[in-house]
Amino acid sequence: MLFRRRTSSVPASQWRTRARVEQSGREHHLMIDAIEAGDAEHLKELVRQHILQS
């Protein structure tokens, strides 16, 4: 998918550790999967967790 080939939308310095940068990327991929699946509830939960960094 086109979205997955794009670079990061935020500077890596936003996160404190490299592990968090990588986790953020995985979260974005999960969000795209939820959008493609049409699963609005899962997407909503993923976004909530991503914002809260939980």
Residue range 14-48, pLDDT digits in tens:
667 888 888 989 999 999 999 999 999 999 999 99
- Quick check: 4 pLDDT over 80? no
Kindly indicate the confidence band of residue 11, based on its pLDDT and cuts at 50, 70 and 90. low
Torsion of CA 7, 12, 15, 17, to 10 degrees: 110
Residue 53 has pLDDT above 60, yes or no: yes
Beta strands, E only, 1-54: none
* Nearest residue to 53 (alpha-carbon basis) of 24, 11, 28: 24
pTM: predicted TM-score of the whole model, two decimal places: 0.69
pLDDT recorded at residue 17: 86
